[in-house]
Amino acid sequence: ASAPSEAPPVAPPAAARLPPHCQQLPRSEPRCPSARPPALTAPRAGGCPGQNGESAVPVARAEKPSLQQLYRLGPLLGSGGCGRVYAGTRLADGAPVAIKGVPRDRIWEWARLHDGALVPMELALLSMVSCPGFRSVVQLLDWFELPDGFALVMERPERCQDLWHLLHAGGFLPEPVARGVFCQVLQAVRHCTSRGVLHRDIKAENILIDLATGEAKLIDFGCGTILQDTLYTHMAGTREYFPPEWILFGCYHGQPATIWTLGILLYQLVCRHLPFKTREDIVRGQLFFPPRVSQECQHLIRWCLCMDPADRPCLEDLLEHPSLQKPHLTQETAEIHPSA
């Protein structure tokens, strides 16, 4: 996941319309690792979490065994701006896990749990969305505070590959497969929204696919934050996915920005490459589709990528779109084979 980005807006073109809610908005100072943690709490330990519910994630107790006593660390799986992820094994039963190490100096935002523990925002968000009965979001299993940071222990599906590597190893996804993956991502985003969580970095690299079943799983909440109705004046995530309102005006609402990101993702699934490479490309907003992409799929992508946030659909609109009502490969029957 990329670290939070604070970039000055480019000058809007003559035809651009500045939203009234952005005109008098003062810009906030960029966040830094030493920023004062916000007055924010995450759910208590307990059952399935909700925005005002409970968390299935255990608390960190002084008498709890150490990370090394409970888990065996394996090879590095990947690294980013917020930490490194290692393969691991739970010693009690041999279950595969992923262990993310988050250095203290890379924690951009903090939250305070109900038991008083001050933790990275990523940990708090994972505790809010983790629910054993919901499989489309990665589950946080355990966590530890270490001298130099935190360790987050998450589930690790064994036969999986992230969408980015899947696409680049083979090619675009046929529309029936893309529909199946995209519908699962929509369900994951709806789950996060219902728990009050804004992911902010939905992209192919952050979606794991079970190669045998086609089951999709949203991972990496390192750029996420609490969902709010008011405007955000800080951005986190990946630049090619930034919405035009952030580039032009330096502010955005969480849900329309998420819809924009989903449009970018769907375009990449069916076309293999991203639609925009630069800030200027994003503001220009020109889309080009190969002939194989159906008109209904094109319409859905264009709707998500409307320049005016008010013209974009909501999540429920997307789920009811005609292109997603067609038969698609389900997680029980799909086997992912990208097309060249």
Q: What is the DSSP string of 111-135?
A: EEETTS-EEEHHHHHHHHH--TT--
| pLDDT in the model for residue 158 | 83
Q: Is 281 annotated as a binding residue?
A: no
Dist. CA 174–CA 270, nearest whole Å: 7
Range list of β-strands (E), 8-82: 41-42, 44-45, 54-55, 71-80
CA distances from 340 to 10, 168, 174, 187, 288 (A): 37, 10, 10, 28, 18
101 is in an annotated binding site: no
Pick the catalytic residue: 93, 105, 201, 317? 201
Cα–Cα distance list, 160 to 93, 109, 266, 335, 337 (Å):
21, 30, 20, 11, 13
Provide the pLDDT for residue 144. Answer: 96
72 is in an annotated binding site: no
Q: How far is CA 87 from CA 53, 146, 156, 302, in A?
A: 30, 18, 8, 39
* Residue in 167, 295, 140 with CA at minimum distance from that of residue 222: 140
Question: What contacts 123, CB < 8 A, 6 or more positions away?
Answer: 42, 102, 111, 140, 143, 150, 152
**What pLDDT is stored for residue 159 in this prediction?**
86
Residue 83 annotated in ligand binding: yes
pLDDT of residue 116: 83
At 280 the pLDDT is: 97
Candidates 273, 226, 276, 274; CA nearest to 246 is 276
Question: What pLDDT, on a 0 to 100 scale, did the predictor assign at position 226?
Answer: 96
Structural domains of the chain, ranges and CATH numbers in brackets: 41-155 (3.30.200.20), 160-325 (1.10.510.10)
Q: What span, in angstroms and rounded, lies between the C-alpha atoms of 149 and 102?
A: 6
Q: Name residues whose C-beta falls within 8 Å of residue 213's C-beta, 6 or more positions apart in sequence.
A: 331, 332, 333, 334, 335
Q: Name the strand (E) or helix (H) holding 167.
A: helix 163-170
Assigned token pair, 77: 């799986």
The answer to whether residue 148 is catalytic is no
What local confidence, expressed as pLDDT, does residue 35 receive? 31
Count the neighbouring beta carbons within 10 Å of the beta carbon of residue 154. Answer: 21
Residue 59 confidence (pLDDT) = 57
Query: How many Cβ atoms from other residues are within 10 Å of residue 114's Cβ?
Result: 13
pLDDT digits (tens, 9 = 90+) for 216-269: 999 999 999 999 999 999 999 999 999 999 999 999 999 999 999 999 999 999
Q: Is residue 77 marked as binding?
A: yes
Cα–Cα distance for residue pair 240/281, rounded to 1 Å = 9
Q: Is 78 annotated as a binding residue?
A: yes
Q: How far apart are the two ends of the chain, measured CA to CA in Å? A: 28
> Which two structure tokens, joined as six digits, stand for 49?
């979490």
Q: Are 141 and 312 in contact (CB under 8 A)?
A: no
User: Which regions in the chain score pLDDT beneath 70?
Assistant: 1-62, 327-340
Q: Is 46 one of the annotated binding-site residues?
A: no
Sequence-distant (≥ 6) Cβ neighbours of residue 332 within 8 angstroms: 213
